[in-house]
Amino acid sequence: MESGSELPSEVICFQILARLPVKSLMRFKCVCKSWSSLNRNPSFVNAHRNFHRNNHAQLLLTTWDEAKLQQTFFSIQIKQGSPTLVTRLLNLPTPPTKNGERLYNALSVNGLVCLYLSDKVFPNRTDHNHPVRILNPCTRECIILPHDSPAYSAIHLAHHFGFSPRTNEYKVLQVKRFQPLNSIEDMSFMFKIFKLGTSSWRRIEVDLNDVPFDLLKCQFDRRSVCAHGAIHWMHASTQNIIAVFDLEDERFTAIPLPEDYNYGIHGINNTLGDIVELDGCLALIGDRHLMQQNMMELWILRDYENQVWVKETITFPFYWGDLGYPVPLYTIHTGELLLQSSRLLRQDPAQVKVFFYNMESKSFRSEIISPRLRLSDHLRLKLLVGCGGDSIVPLRREMA
């Protein structure tokens, strides 16, 4: 290279800047106008995500202080060979509740998190004090979605979060189940979309005659899974299907379950749901009969387009209940499965662990995270989601 010559801007951006950690990259935004808008360039965002995909695991945990009616959210960074890094993100007020029935839950896509009130007491309630939020744990940016008053006599309200790689859009799907006022008709549904970067909800028209399944039996009240540009739910019926909402076309479709999987027989009826995302693939957790023998089966949709399922078996080297009946939640950067366990709530505050399973070596390991959390005995702890690494996606629209 000749003296005084400059590197091409494409090399600087996609081979140098894309390798920087988020905090450094955010500091460099003030260097010049082109650098300040890099996080709005989809190609650069993808390059940055790919460079940092295998660096560490990012988990989101929450504690609930019943006396203060407050939830605190923590980002937990787990990186092999390095101490666990814990970052306090934000505090949110919670409604008066008993046994944690009205607390915030979370869904995560590409490092962004949707926080919504999981209200088991009043599932139709929305209010200005407890709105839906989108959070970027890495930059700590957080936005509040516009308040949307329930229409008609809503009896159930749910929110689901997803990303369409084809349109590069993040969307929140709102599902309302209601009975029209002054009507004796059967229950009906209303669907709205909030697209990241906009300022309002948009109602989408859904022809119920074109939906290939019974909406009333779709598990909208449980955690959904976003993969391949669509949101997925289990469908509790004899149809033996997975309900699908395509985020690009904004229409419902369905995927048949594996031939050897029957929801009525194999479903474990986990409170979070029987469907999870493992390394970018849909997976089904089962079955409840084998779990009494300390075994768990996973049906993994390895080929989404051709609908090819592969079955894997996990054998626990101990009684399944001893760890609080753990089930897979998320695949971390090492390829290990992060396990969601109810025992997290019952552990000694000084020895709180998260558990991992290696599918290749068929081995378990745990990692203590509580010394850096500084938990008190009266706080309740819950592992919410795996965040899929760092994200530089901005949450607000760029001002002209």
- What pLDDT does 145 receive? 94
pLDDT greater than 60 at residue 377: no
pLDDT greater than 70 at residue 296: yes
Q: Phi/psi at 352 (nearest 5 deg)?
A: -70, 130
pLDDT greater than 50 at residue 1: no
Domains assigned to the chain: 8-52 (no CATH), 53-387 (2.120.10)
Which of 11-20, 178-187, 250-259 is most confident? Answer: 250-259
Q: Which residues contact 154 (CB under 8 A, 6 or more apart)?
A: 124, 176, 177, 178
pLDDT greater than 60 at residue 230: yes
Tell me the DSSP string of 278-327.
Answer: ETTEEEEEE-HHHHTTTEEEEEEEEETTTTEEEEEEEE-SS-GGGGTS-E
Alpha carbon separation from 338 to 17, 169, 231 (Å, rounded): 30, 27, 21
pLDDT band at 370 (very low <50, low <70, confident <90, very high): low
- What pLDDT does 319 receive? 74
pLDDT greater than 90 at residue 306: yes
pLDDT greater than 50 at residue 399: no
pLDDT digits (tens, 9 = 90+) for 233-279: 988 777 889 999 999 999 999 999 998 887 776 666 566 668 888 88
The residue behind tokens 């949450």 is 395
* Structure-block tokens of residue 384: 């919410």
Higher-confidence residue of 317 and 218: namely 218
What percentage of residues in the chain have a pLDDT greater than 70?
78
Half-sphere exposure at residue 387, Cβ-oriented, CA atoms within 13 angstroms: 30
- What pLDDT does 283 receive? 93
- What pLDDT does 272 receive? 60
pLDDT greater than 90 at residue 302: yes
Give the pLDDT mean for 196-214: 91
pLDDT digits (tens, 9 = 90+) for 116-165: 987 665 555 555 668 899 999 888 889 999 987 655 566 788 899 999 99
pLDDT greater than 80 at residue 229: yes
pLDDT digits (tens, 9 = 90+) for 313-356: 888 877 777 777 788 888 888 888 888 876 665 556 566 778 88
Q: In whole numbers, what is the pLDDT of the chain averaged over residues?
A: 80
pLDDT greater than 70 at residue 75: yes
- What pLDDT does 343 receive? 63
